[in-house]
Structure 1
Amino acid sequence: MQGVPMLPMPPHVVDAVARSAGKVFPRQTRGCYALKSAIADQLRRRHGLSVNQDSDLLVTHGAQHGMSIALRGILSPGDEVLVPAPTYFFDAIVKMAGAHPIYVQTNPSDGWALPIDALSSAVTPATRAIIICNPNNPTGNVPTREELTALLKFAKVHNLYVFSDESYEDYFHDGPGYTPQMSLADIHNRLITVTSLSKNYAFSSWRVGYIHAPSDILEAIHPAFECDAINVGDIPQIAAEAALTGPRDWLDVEFVSFRSRRDLLLAEIRGAGFQVVTPRAGIFCYADLTPTGLQGHALEEALLDVGVPCSSGDRFYGNGGYARILYGGTAENIMRVGERLSLLQKL
């Protein structure tokens, strides 16, 4: 029940790496020109974004690394960061920056939408930023363009940075689809987007991602990157450039089946007697298992006892009676989840 595509690299990526493995490269701390150019071209082609590859992009060791250095480059000790929850594991990297995460709960009754009113109530003089996950991990919510517009208007009123992890760009299944926050930079430009090739290009073994931000913000972030890593390895960057510019048919074996696998898991969860909001994106369902009466670690252990590996909702700073269940496995294994969840009801 994997959470990212686990695919062998295609020939065009392997060939690019083989041709370059014996070469020596000049150090380019913000990333090699070819990869940044490929990223900028993709952002223009897909989303109509105008990107200066020299000043607006920084290649990182994945989205987690990108978010960590972005937070450390921008935040100061004592700052507060609003975080709509449940959400991905940002807690430790916010605290590493000396800041305090303030979790603001979203609600399944409205599909886990961004809680603008609750965010407004949580603002204090120490509030400096917001972190969102777009699309959201673990709920699968995809903020609409209207929701993001409202969020950025709110951020502008309070002069807040908006950090957005947009690693699941290619995983939307329903609705109008994913809207990058950078497409709304005319509303508010204190924006930092991080993303990962691990999710969209099966690049977990290479650890490549990037930060997209206005040049003045990236200038503040870059020193934190240099303290960590100097630069990302040239060979992984060459592999990434080949993946971005080459054919995507090798990825279709996974991506074309995500919606059907999601629908299968939804049916199994509901068939076992539990409720779940249909995720519009991602590779996971966030199921309400509160009828079991179990929470947190106890819920995880009970799930493992019946053969279902999951993370409970409290790991995502939400309700500990919920669980994130992945649907990256085979149809046969997904159907087994339903059988095993039915056993959970009998414990």
Structure 2
Amino acid sequence: MEPPPRKIIHVDMDAFFASVEQRDDPSLRGKPIAVGHAAARGVVAAASYEARVFGVRSALPSVTALRRCPDLVFVPPRFDVYKQVSRQIQAIFREYTPLVQPLSLDEAYLDVTANLQGLPTAWATAKAIRARILEETGLTASAGISYNKFLAKLASDQRKPNGQFAVTPDMGAAWVETLPVARFHGVGPVTAKKMHALGITTGADLRDKSIDFLRANFGNAADWYHAIARGEDHRPVDPDRIRKSSGSETTFNRDLLDPVEIEAGVQEMADDVWGWCEKAQAYGRTVTVKVKYTDFQQITRSRTYPYAIDTAEKLSAASRDLIRSVLPPTKGIRLVGVTVSTFDTLSDGPAALPLFGDDGS
């Protein structure tokens, strides 16, 4: 007999860093704020919902954020406070289940198939957890409830902020078909663009493609895309799993020979990776730059430092140094990527998911 479906909850705090700042400083409430620094090479670590209306998002360069929202208020990050609040939230989770897999300071998967409080449903469990978080921290959280991790994560976005949504086994596959592929975990902006060019815009379009077609166009990620298009994800909630790297890569619209353009692409990927590092509070010592040429030859350049890469400036400088070692190119470059690894410490259990996408998250 098949085992009963799992009961998985994905809890995601609402604009966590920004919400903590607005909680602690009432003068910031209702204003568009960005956690980060307004310096020329600064990066937004988090944005309030008021700022998101203007298109301000995490990992966005500060100068771009200010261009989009001239009234944006920058607040220096207080990671010690965020980690303290995260520990409060993690403690609440563990009152309901020992099977907690944190993804970063502000989100986690919980397997509540057998919850410790004896609540009758996963829906009731998620509601109780969110109420406890609000009571103890003054912050709101959203939750997705489903029978696997992929669907639970998708569902947690459905009623944001401060809501919850359930995807039941009898609706999972059909619900996925209605969604844009750009919403799928593991489909980053570059992959979404490639899918759109192939006529794949929704889950239904993705489901219609054969596994051979997907393998020919997406390589190792094909099996993942084939499964999630059917609402399938057999990964367990693993409280002991540790992520070993975070990376981001992009394929250019045309093959590049100009060192300035190539370096700009690497900088964009470094900013993307830094957004994850800052959110997860995970800092590695190894930086790797990947290059794929027009003839599909692929090379990497890597350097391990004696210290953690703990600022955006250090990551940018390391990435620039590595890409400059292959510039000017002797042939066109079609793809660049940046990866950080060799994490000395992984504070509060950052993300442990496979890196199927190209957005590093």
Name the TM-score, length of structure 2 as normaliser: 0.29
Q: Which has the higher strand share?
A: 2
Higher relative contact order (CA 8 A, sep 6+): 1
Larger helix percent: 1
